[in-house]
Amino acid sequence: MEKQFVGWVIEEGIAIVTIDNPSSLNALNAATLTQLDKAFDQLAGNAEVKGVIITGGGEKSFVAGADINEFLQVKGDGAAGFMARGQRIFDKIEAFDRPVIAAVNGFALGGGNELAMCCDIRIAAENAVFGQPEVNLGIIPGYGGTQRLPRLIGPGKAKEIIFADERINAQEAFRIGLVQRVVPKGQAVEEAKKLMKKIMSKGPIAIRMAKKAINEGLGMSLREGLDLEGQCQGVCFGSEDKDEGAKAFLEKRPAHFKGR
Ligand code: COA
């Protein structure tokens, strides 16, 4: 039987996905990527799941990057396919139609930082360390790091991190906007659950449309993005949840959203 490196449980509508291979600090080998891909396919088809948290097994690492043991097998021609596969899976996570939070409990290096960056929100434990060390191996980030990092923190800081392998701690990651919250060691998943529950109390269609407008709009001109915002708002205004939200406000009671 294939070893399981990715596990998930559902607690109160939140799927907690754990990448669990502590002997390699949860490095992403081919089997882990396949299992992560399958996990997100299954979660996508599960209506019970209202949001996803991704974390790493053990106390030390979120994900310490792609599995370097596999690099020697990949030569020039194979690199495009090798990278495209990881990129496709990370794109799928980024486009997941419900919120995804990274609970970064330790090292988030290379593919680990790239995985965190394709999540909607990052919460870091204070022992977390972020970086893109690929140039040490004579390669560049290949699961989206050259694209998502500068979009999140600006090109100058991204180049400093990627060119010089500048590692940054949780507080610095917070200061530059790479993570949204820093919590004590061991608390990242709990904090992510707290935030997810708050998000889940809102209208799910509104959250889905806000995610779509933000994610897809980032690759558009301002005018195109504003048009997309209008279309997404049209979906919200066509929903029962919009009427429920307005009525609840006017009747001074909490809204009970049904996601339709
Ligand atoms: N791929 C494969 N194995 C990895 C790995 C990776 N990306 N990252 C860590 N490991 C393995 C180590 O080889 C070691 O295995 P061993 O016990 O069989 O020797 C084990 O995980 C523990 O790592 P170790 O280096 O002993 O821990 P440390 O606390 O001294 O250092 C790191 C931790 C994360 C700083 C260090 O492991 C590291 O630099 N890893 C590579 C990070 C990287 O370059 N990622 C990008 C890849 S593209």
Residue 66 CB less than 6 A away from ligand 1: yes
In a domain, 255, yes or no: no
pLDDT category at 103 given cuts 50, 70, 90 is very high
Q: Which pairing describes strands 61-63 and 107-109: parallel, antiparallel, or unpaired?
A: parallel
Query: Whose alpha carbon is nearest atom 34 of ligand 1?
Result: 64
Query: Whose alpha carbon is nearest atom 38 of ligand 1?
Result: 64
> The tokens of 113 are what?
């930082």
SS3 175: helix
Q: How far is the CA of 65 from the centre of ligand 1 (A)?
A: 8
Of 160, 179, 200, at which residue does a domain stop? 200
Are both 74 and 45 inside the same structural domain? Answer: yes
Q: Which strands form 51-56's sheet, in the order they lie side by side?
A: 6-11, 14-19, 51-56, 100-104, 121-125, 181-183
Are both 27 and 149 inside the same structural domain? Answer: yes
Q: How far is the CA of 247 from the centre of ligand 1 (A)?
A: 55
In a domain, 256, yes or no: no
pLDDT category at 182 given cuts 50, 70, 90 is very high
Is 76 a residue whose pLDDT tops 90? no
Is 74 a residue whose pLDDT tops 90? no
Are both 38 and 50 inside the same structural domain? Answer: yes
SS3 118: coil
Pocket test for ligand 1, best of 5, 25, 130, 168 (most atoms within 8 A of CB): 25
Are both 129 and 225 inside the same structural domain? Answer: no
Is 225 a residue whose pLDDT tops 90? yes
Please count the structural domains in the chain: 2
Q: How far is the CA of 165 from the centre of ligand 1 (A)?
A: 15
Q: How far apart are CA 65 and CA 88, in angstroms?
A: 16
pLDDT category at 230 given cuts 50, 70, 90 is very high
- Whole-model pTM above 0.85? yes
Question: 127, 96, 148, 114: which is closest to 28 by C-alpha?
Answer: 114
Distances (CA, A) of 86 to 13, 47, 76, 96: 27, 26, 16, 15
In a domain, 100, yes or no: yes
Is 75 a residue whose pLDDT tops 90? no
Are both 137 and 123 inside the same structural domain? Answer: yes
Are both 159 and 216 inside the same structural domain? Answer: no
Specify burial of residue 120 (Cβ count, 10 A radius: 0-12, 13-18, 19+). buried
> Which amino acid is present at 210?
A
| Residues of the domain holding 126 | 6-200
Are both 107 and 208 inside the same structural domain? Answer: no
In a domain, 257, yes or no: no
Are both 193 and 212 inside the same structural domain? Answer: no
Question: 161, 142, 157, 61: which is closest to 107 by C-alpha?
Answer: 61
Are both 228 and 103 inside the same structural domain? Answer: no
Query: How many helices (H) and strands (E) would you count in the chain?
Result: 10, 10
Q: Are 188 and 105 in contact (CB under 8 A)?
A: yes
Of the residues 134, 160, 190, 216, only one is catalytic, namely 134
Of the residues 11, 48, 94, 114, only one is catalytic, namely 114
Predicted confidence (pLDDT) per residue in 139-162, tens digit: 999 999 999 999 999 999 999 999
Residue 34 CB less than 6 A away from ligand 1: no
Are both 157 and 212 inside the same structural domain? Answer: no
Strand intervals (E) in 75-202? 100-104, 107-109, 121-125, 129-131, 168-169, 181-183
Q: Are 26 and 19 in contact (CB under 8 A)?
A: yes
> Which amino acid is present at 246?
A
Lowest mean pLDDT among 12-16, 53-57, 80-84: 80-84
pLDDT category at 72 given cuts 50, 70, 90 is confident
Give residue 77's pLDDT: 75
Residue 68 CB less than 6 A away from ligand 1: yes
- What does residue 61 show for φ and ψ, rounded to 5 degrees? -140, 140
> CATH number for the domain including 184?
3.90.226.10
Are both 143 and 19 inside the same structural domain? Answer: yes
SS3 50: coil
Q: Which pairing describes strands 51-56 and 168-169: parallel, antiparallel, or unpaired?
A: unpaired
Query: Locate tokens 């996601």: which residue?
Result: 259
- Mean pLDDT, residues 67-82 taken together: 84
Is 97 a residue whose pLDDT tops 90? yes
In a domain, 128, yes or no: yes
> CATH number for the domain including 234?
1.10.12.10
Residue 107 CB less than 6 A away from ligand 1: yes
Q: How far apart are CA 237 and CA 127, in angstroms?
A: 43
Mean pLDDT of the chain: 96
Predicted confidence (pLDDT) per residue in 22-65, tens digit: 999 999 999 999 999 999 999 999 999 999 999 999 999 999 99
Which residues touch 137 (CB under 8 Å, ≥6 apart)?
Answer: 68, 71
Are both 92 and 186 inside the same structural domain? Answer: yes
Q: How far apart are CA 117 and CA 115, in angstroms?
A: 5
Residue 134 annotated among the catalytic residues of the structure: yes
Residue 11 annotated among the catalytic residues of the structure: no
Residue 67 CB less than 6 A away from ligand 1: yes
